[in-house]
Amino acid sequence: MAGELAISMRGVRKRFGSKCVLDGIDLDVHAGEIVGYVGPNGSGKSTTIKLLLGILPDFEGEIRVAGFDPRHAALEIKRRVGYVAENAVLYESLTIAEFLLFVGRVHGLDDATIERRAVACLESLELEQRVSSRISELSKGMRQKVLLTAALLHRPQVLLFDEPLSGLDVHSQMLVKEVLRQFAQAGRAVLFSSHVMDVVERLCTRIAILDGGQLVAHGTFDELTRTLRGGSLEGIFAAITGDGDAQERATRIVRAIES
Amino acid sequence: MSVRGNPWSSRKSSSFLVNATLWAADRSRRWIELAGIDFAVFRVVLEQRVRMGTEAKFGGQPGAMTVGLGMILVGFALVMAGLGSGVAALVTRQPTLWMWIGQGAWIFMLTSLCVNYFANVLLDPSDIGVLASRPVGDRTIVGSRFAEVLLPTALLALCAASAPTVFGAFTLHPLGALVAFPLATLSSGLVVLAGMTLVVALALRVVGPVRFQRVMFWLQLAAAISIGAGPQLANRVIPMGTLTEAYSTHPWLAWVNPIEHHLALYALLGGDFESRTLTLAALVFVLPVALGGLAFALLRQDFIAALADRGELVRSARRGFRPSLFARVGSVVCRSKAARAVFGFTLALTRRERPYLRTVVPMAATTLVMAVVLTRPRASGTAAPMLVAGCLYYLAILPTFVYGVARVSEHAEARWWFDALPFSEPSAALEGGAKAILCGTLLPIAAFACVAASSCFESLAWRDGLLVFVALAALDCVSARFFMRKIPFSTAPSLQIHYRDLVTTFAILAVIGLLVFVHWLSTLHFAVWAAALALYAVAFALGWRALARLTPAP
């Protein structure tokens, strides 16, 4: 049974100059759901997330996140959303603790709450020993763990995760997937954008496939395999997005380089 | 490197600027909230920005100047500039001249500082990636940046006001001088800052977030050129009497001129209670509040969206793999493939990197325009040929900051490419970079200035123009040896200035003096001119050859 509507997009169009990057997106995400949002590079996934957050205010159509319109109430949305960006920027000269204190304070949390929640997250992510290290010294995976912690600190209603498992080791990936499952079970909505198809296939309750700015397929994994007659999400994805024969294209690359 | 102590306790900053800024913010809470700013978030963001500016970028860097030292130097320059006003008070005992000179110098210097530095603080996109997805409003971000530059402005205002106030107190009405000048200086400082914020707000409203950065870049460029060259150009194009006449025939100009408001405040404190004086004096307090209020009222939305847009400042040519004319020069002037590669890379980034464009283009354009404008005869007279040549030789100052800014990239994390690529000779990277900056920035500017001075204004003979160009080219080449120590566009942005760079800058200033002297000698006889030209050509050739042997900093 679907929960309360957390994200709603109706006829969303976004242009950058003459280029249309999103063309008539209709998508709902309910509380308790993890919706996989997949598509080839440049298909408009990150742009969608930026629209949902109100970072890009200029678009056509209707969007509601946690009941708010990002064009008029971006701040209210940001208070309720936990966001992990694909290419996130961090304050390099801050320590992990200083960065998390900064983010928590911006969300209006008191220092004791920030510390309690952050320490619990960092311990589970095996980063508690590095809490005094500057962010500039961290590896990509460690930065990702800091970002995940920062995104969860304020107990968001909606999670917008753009490649959240990027750079994480296997243990941390398993942990984050389990965290997302439990968050969804607790009634939170998750929009999960990733290129790792088997993770999306196993983790997400519904999957939306984006190609060229349009939503080309949408449903549960079982529905997609039934209607599109594929055995795996990777196969379905390749068939829908028209990637064609990978072997033939690889041969073309190798020939060009070898010549 | 780890930070000691309890990582979760709020680290007390030792920086005077951080503590004073937060102290002032706490005491202005009501005003800040009145501007539609979320104070709690504002305070957190402000503390972060001031800390990053004062501690992270400068702290513990050997040989680097601190923010405090930079402030002291600017403050000292303002105290010196204020002496002119003080001396005017001593000599003439005229409050009008005292106020005009003192406030004029302060407003001019602060506006210049605003365009070249404070505007970059206001438009800094570096932390937008962190803040864009957090619940921080547009006004809160603008407010924190405004507050970040407010305390330095107040401190500089104190420096600017010190000499005129002290001298004025002894020679003019004591109460008027002691109260009016400091208040007027603070007021005009606020007017300049609020005016700059208003321009940003209006630009955002008019052009929208997508084109905002590009428009602001061109506005900043136009403003920098106007400030640098405007007074010189006006001095040469508009006869002085015209302005004085216009001012006396249109008394309403006093209402839009802040210095007239300051004079009215002085007159009021001296006992003049006429209604016109009262109204003008009230504007000292009303104008900054009105301008600031209007700016914040306009800045309701889209500021974050405008800075989050990573669009280019200038349109890039869609050439694909076809090299531009300048890029083709690389294959001629660089011997090794590695040097050619870095030449192309550096040349492309001198047209794209925002820190480079935002710093070098306004300063180069200002220096260029000033050098060319100063060669033009005044409205009432002719230009002295030696002054013309001296102005052009001043272009030799450009390398002092161009090479420095060319080290910096906002994408410095891409530096690993240089570590991963098989550079057989580390100096090849420096050679390609230095030649790209020379051929793409410094030499075209020198050539343009010499041709403009020789052809347009006819104030310089062609042979003198040639001598100046070859001298500048030689000096630009030789100075690369001292400034070009790191691979271009591979270092994270920081405002640090090395003492070594300062020493080299002073050395270049001394060499400019020498070049002017040699130029004077060259006007005495053709043989001296020919000898000087040959000497510079040899220096250029040697300097150019030495570019292949540049040694990177350890």
pLDDT band at B145 (very low <50, low <70, confident <90, very high): very high
Of A34-38, B204-208, B279-283, B453-457, where does mean pLDDT reach its minimum?
Answer: B453-457
The CATH number assigned to the domain with range A5-258 reads: 3.40.50.300
pLDDT score for A88: 73
Sign, CA torsion A244/A163/A74/B35: negative
What is the spatial distance between Cα B341 and Cα B331, in angstroms, rounded to a whole number?
9
B409–chain A nearest CA distance, Å: 15
pLDDT score for B341: 86
pLDDT score for B385: 63
A17-31 per-residue burial string, b: 16 or more CB within 10 A, e: under 16: eeebbbbebebbbbb
pLDDT score for B55: 61
How confident is the model over B424-433, as a mean pLDDT? 83
Partner-chain residue, chosen from B2, B44, B127, that has the shortest CB–CB distance to A91: B127
Spell out the domain ranges in chain B: 16-57+69-308, 326-549
The DSSP 8-state label assigned to residue A220 in this structure reads -
A33–chain B nearest CA distance, Å: 22
B332: helix, strand or coil: helix
Would you say residue B395 has pLDDT above 60? Answer: yes
Q: What is the chain B residue with the closest CA to A77?
A: B135
pLDDT in tens, B182-199: 999 999 999 999 999 999
Chain A residues whose CB is inside 8 A of the B55 CB are 93
How confident is the model over A90-111, as a mean pLDDT? 87
What is the spatial distance between Cα B215 and Cα B221, in angstroms, rounded to a whole number?
10
Give, rounded to a whole angstrom, the gap between the first and last alpha carbons of chain B: 20
Q: Does A120 touch chain B (CB under 8 A)?
A: no
Would you say residue B221 has pLDDT above 50? Answer: yes
Q: Which of residues 112-141 of B touch A (CB under 8 A)?
A: 126-137
% of chain B beyond a pLDDT of 70: 86
Q: Please give the helix or strand (H or E) that residue A73 lies within, else none.
A: none
pLDDT band at B66 (very low <50, low <70, confident <90, very high): low
CB atoms within 10 A of CB B538: 11
pLDDT band at A149 (very low <50, low <70, confident <90, very high): very high
* Residue A105 to residue B44, Cβ atoms within 8 A: yes
What is the Cα B141 distance to its own chain's centre?
Answer: 23
The DSSP 8-state label assigned to residue B177 in this structure reads I
Joined tokens for residue B437? 């900056």
What is the spatial distance between Cα B434 and Cα B342, in angstroms, rounded to a whole number?
9
pLDDT band at B59 (very low <50, low <70, confident <90, very high): very low
pLDDT in tens, A101-130: 889 988 999 989 999 999 999 999 888 888
Would you say residue B447 has pLDDT above 60? Answer: yes
Q: Does A138 touch chain B (CB under 8 A)?
A: no
pLDDT score for B313: 58
Size of interface A-B (CB pairs under 8 A): 97
Q: Which of B37, B52, B12, B10 is nearest to B492 (CA)?
A: B52
pLDDT score for B128: 85
pLDDT in tens, B247-261: 778 878 888 889 999
Partner-chain residue, chosen from A58, A107, A132, that has the shortest CB–CB distance to B3: A132
A161: helix, strand or coil: strand
The burial class, CB within 10 Å (0-12 / 13-18 / 19+), for A89 is middle
Polymer length in residues for chain A: 259
What is the spatial distance between Cα B71 and Cα B158, in angstroms, rounded to a whole number?
12
pLDDT in tens, B273-299: 899 999 999 999 999 999 999 999 998
What is the spatial distance between Cα B81 and Cα B164, in angstroms, rounded to a whole number?
10
Would you say residue A248 has pLDDT above 90? Answer: no
Q: What is the chain B residue with the closest CA to A53?
A: B133
Spell out the domain ranges in chain A: 5-258
Q: Which of residues 31-60 of B touch A (CB under 8 A)?
A: 40-41, 44-45, 48, 52, 55-57
Would you say residue B378 has pLDDT above 60? Answer: no
Which of B3, B6, B8, B57 should be substituted to probe chain A, the one whose Cβ sees the most A Cβ atoms within 10 Å?
Answer: B8
Q: Does A225 touch chain B (CB under 8 A)?
A: no
pLDDT score for A116: 93
pLDDT in tens, B222-234: 888 888 777 777 7
At A67, the amino acid letter reads G
At B403, the amino acid letter reads Y
Q: What is the chain B residue with the closest CA to A88?
A: B129
What is the spatial distance between Cα B326 and Cα B341, in angstroms, rounded to a whole number?
13
pLDDT in tens, A33-78: 999 999 998 889 989 999 999 888 889 999 999 999 999 898 899 9
Between strands A60-65 and A19-30, the pairing is unpaired
The position carrying tokens 């073309």 is A252
* Residue B52 to residue A137, Cβ atoms within 8 A: no
Sign, CA torsion B395/B401/B407/B409: negative
What is the spatial distance between Cα B169 and Cα B163, in angstroms, rounded to a whole number?
10
Task: Give me the half-sphere count of Cα atoms (radius 13 Å) on the Cβ side of residue B492.
Answer: 10
% of chain A beyond a pLDDT of 90: 46
Would you say residue A157 has pLDDT above 90? Answer: yes
How confident is the model over B167-176, as a mean pLDDT? 90
A147–chain B nearest CA distance, Å: 10
Here the ipTM equals 0.78
pLDDT in tens, B480-521: 888 887 888 888 766 555 667 778 788 888 998 999 899 989
Chain A residues whose CB is inside 8 A of the B135 CB are 75-76, 78-79, 106-108
pLDDT score for B61: 43
pLDDT score for B551: 79
Would you say residue B106 has pLDDT above 80? Answer: yes
pLDDT score for B382: 56
pLDDT band at A155 (very low <50, low <70, confident <90, very high): very high
